[in-house]
Amino acid sequence: MQENPLPVSDHPKLTSTLIISSLIAALGGLLFGFDTAVISGANDQLKNQFQLNEKELGFTVAIAMLGTIIGSIGAGRPSNIWGRKVVLLVMAFFYFISALGCALAWDWYSLLFFRLLGGVAVGGASVVSPLYITEISPAYYRGRLVGIQQFNIVLGILLAFLSNYLIGLQSLGKEEWRWMLGVQMIPSILFFIFLFPIPESPRWLVMKNRLSDAKDVLTRIGVHSEKIETELEAIQKSLGNSSQDHHQSVLRWVYQKPLFLALMLAMFNQLSGINAVLYYAPTIFEKAGAGKDSSLLQAVAIGSINLLFTLLAMLVIDHLGRKKLMIIGSIGYITSLITTAGAFYWYRDGFTTFGSSLVLISLLVFIASHAVGQGAIIWVYIGEVFPNKVRAQGQSFGNSVHWIMATIITFIFPSFASYSPYLAFSFFALMMVFQLIWTLVLMPETKGIPLEQLQKHLGVDQ
C-alpha cells in the first residue's frame, strides 16, 4: 500500500484548550501506568502477608488484568451514550475507591476485589483517554497529542517504581505494602477534579446532533474558522445519517481490515513480554543476583528509560511515522530479549556481577525499544484505524485483546520464569520476530491523514 497518499491541510493552531484537555485526559494514562506497576514492589510482602504460593501471587497480580478486560469491553458503549468525559469521571472515581480499598484490605479476597475494580478503571481509561484525545486532535498533531497518553502511562510507571523505592526506605515493616498501594488516592482525586473544565469530544457532539456545541469546541481546539463547516460536514458524512448507523456493530466484514490491524498490534504488544517485565521487574532483577533495595532501584532505572524514550518517540512519531518506529522497536526487542535469555541460560547456576549488569542493560534496551515502538504506537494506531461511527467500539475491541493477552501473560509468567527464565525470554524474542515480519509486510502507515480520510485510505469507506 502506498504510504500517506493524502494531502495534509494547513497546520492548525495549538490552542491552550487543546493542549490542556489532552494533558488532563491523559492523566487517565498516568493512573493506568501507576496502577500497572505499583504492585511490583509489594509482591513479596503480599506473598508473606496472605501466605500465597506462586499461582496465587500470579492471580493477585493478574486479577487487575481481568478487571481491565471488563473495563475495556464495557467502556465503549457508555462513552457513546453519555460521552467520553462522563466515563473518564467514573474511571477516576473507580481509581480512588480501588486505591483506598487496597490500602485497607482486611483479607486476600477484599484485596482481590479492589484490585479487580482498579483494573476496571485501567481498562476503561485505556479506551476512553486515547479515544478522547484522538477525537479532539488535528491530524498534524495527532500522534504527538495521543502520545501524551503513553508518556503519562510511563510517567505513572516511573512514579510507581519511585514511590515503592522511597516507601521501601522508610522501614514501615509488614504494613509497607498498604502504603505502596494506597498512595494512588492522591492522583485519583486530582484527575477527577481536573476533568470538569475540559470540553466534550466534538465528534461525539456531532453524533448527538449537538452541532452548535461541536462548532464551539472545534473553535476552541484550533480549527480555522473558515474550515469549521467543512470539518462538520466531513464528520457528519463519516458518521452517517441514521441513528442505526451510530449504533452499528464493529464486528462486521466491512471492518475486517481495522479489526485485523488492531488485533495483531494488541496481541504483539503483550507477546513482547512488556507487562511481565513491568509487573515483575524487581523479581527479575533478584533472580539475576540483585538485592531487594538494589532491585527496587533498578526498577526505577527501567521507569526512567521508559519515560526518556517515550518522550523521544513523541517528538518524532508525526515525522517518521508509525511504521518506521515499529520497525526500530522490533529490532531492539529482538536484540535485547535474545541477550536477556542468553544471560539467564549462561548464568543459570549463579549470576556474576557482569551477568547481573548484562541483564540490567538488556532490559533497559528492551524498555527503550518498547517506548519508541509499540508503547508509542498502540494507543495512537488503534484509535486511528477505525471510522468515526465505530471508533469507540473499535478502541474497546483492540484494548480488550490487549488486556486479555496481558492477563494471560501476567498470570503464567511467575511460574514460567520460575521454571526457566531463559525459555520465557526466548519465547518473547520469537514473537517479536513475527511482529517485525508483520510490520514490514502488512502494517499500513497512518501519519498525517485526517480521521475522516483514513477510512478511505484503509478501504473501509461506506
- The string of pLDDT tens digits covering residues 319-340 is 888 999 999 999 999 999 999 9
Query: Are residues 121 and 64 in contact, defined by beta-carbon separation less than 8 angstroms?
Result: no
Query: What pLDDT is stored for residue 97 in this prediction?
Result: 96
| Mean residue pLDDT across the chain | 84
| H-only helix segments in 82-184 | 84-103, 108-136, 142-168, 176-182
Say what the pLDDT of residue 3 is: 44
pLDDT exceeds 50 at position 53 = yes
pLDDT band at 289 (very low <50, low <70, confident <90, very high): low
Give me the residue spans of the domains in the chain: 16-198+240-457
Nearest 10 degrees: Cα torsion 256, 257, 263, 264: 140
Cβ atoms of 285 and 359 within 8 Å: the answer is: yes
246: pLDDT strictly greater than 60: no
DSSP-assigned letter for residue 348: T
Q: To the nearest 10°, report the CA torsion of 8, 9, 14, 19.
A: -50
Is 260's pLDDT higher than 90? yes
pLDDT in tens, 60-106: 877 887 888 899 888 888 888 899 999 999 999 999 999 999 999 88
Smallest Cα–Cα separation from 326: which of 263, 270, 273, 372?
Answer: 372
Given 1.20.1300.10, 1.20.1250.20, 1.10.10.10, 3.40.462.20, which CATH number is that of 16-198+240-457? 1.20.1250.20
**Burial readout 22-31 (b: 16 or more C-beta within 10 A, e: otherwise):** bbbbbbbbbb
- The C-alpha cell that represents 297 in the structure block: 532501584
Q: What percent of the chain has pLDDT over 90?
A: 29
154-261-79 Cα angle (round to 5)? 65
Angstrom distance (rounded) from CA 88 to CA 194: 11
Burial of 51 (0-12, 13-18, 19+ CB in 10 A): exposed
**pLDDT level of residue 428 (50, 70, 90 thresholds):** very high
Q: Is pLDDT at 4 greater than 50 in this prediction?
A: no
User: pLDDT by residue (tens digit) across 188-245?
Assistant: 999 999 999 999 988 889 888 898 898 988 888 888 777 888 888 888 877 765 444 4
- Whether 2 shows a pLDDT value over 50: the answer reads no
* pLDDT of res. 10: 54
Contact 205, 214 (CB under 8 A): yes
- CB burial of residue 319 (10 Å; 0-12, 13-18, 19+): exposed
Q: Which of 1, 5, 2, 107 is nearest to 449 (CA)?
A: 5
Distance separating alpha carbons of residues 185 and 34, to the nearest angstrom: 11
Mean pLDDT on 46-55: 82
Q: pLDDT class for 369, splitting at 50, 70, 90? A: very high
- Supply the DSSP symbol for 60: H
Query: pLDDT of 435-459, one tens digit each?
Result: 999 999 999 998 888 877 877 777 7
Is residue 303 packed enough to be buried (19+ CB in 10 Å), middle (13-18) or exposed (0-12)?
A: buried
CA distances to 14, 32, 79, 145, 431 from 279, rounded to whole Å, are: 36, 13, 29, 27, 19
Please compute, for residue 378, the number of CA atoms within 13 A of its CA located in the half-sphere on the CB side: 30
Residue 7 has pLDDT above 70, yes or no: no
Please tell me the predicted confidence (pLDDT) of residue 306. Answer: 81
Backbone φ and ψ of 208, nearest 5°: -90, 10
Does 8 score more than 60 pLDDT? no
Q: Which residues of 218-244 are buried (b: 16+ CB within 10 A; e: fewer)?
A: bebbbbbeeebeebbebbbebbbeeee
Rounded distance between C-alpha atoms, residue 412 and residue 54, angstroms: 10
Chain-centroid distance of CA 179 in Å reads 24
Helix, strand, coil shares of the chain as percentages rounded to 5? 80, 0, 20
Out of 122-136, 159-173, 311-325, 422-436, give the one with best mean pLDDT. Answer: 422-436
Non-local CB neighbours of 452 within 8 Å, separated by 6+ positions: 234, 235, 237, 238, 388
Give the Cα-Cα-Cα angle 385, 389, 395 (nearest 5 degrees): 45
Type of residue at 321? G
CA separation for the pair 150, 310 (Å, rounded): 7
Contact 239, 388 (CB under 8 A): yes
More confident: 189 or 170:
189
Confidence tier at 415 by pLDDT (50, 70, 90): confident
* Of 423 and 237, the one with more pLDDT: 423
pLDDT of res. 295:
61
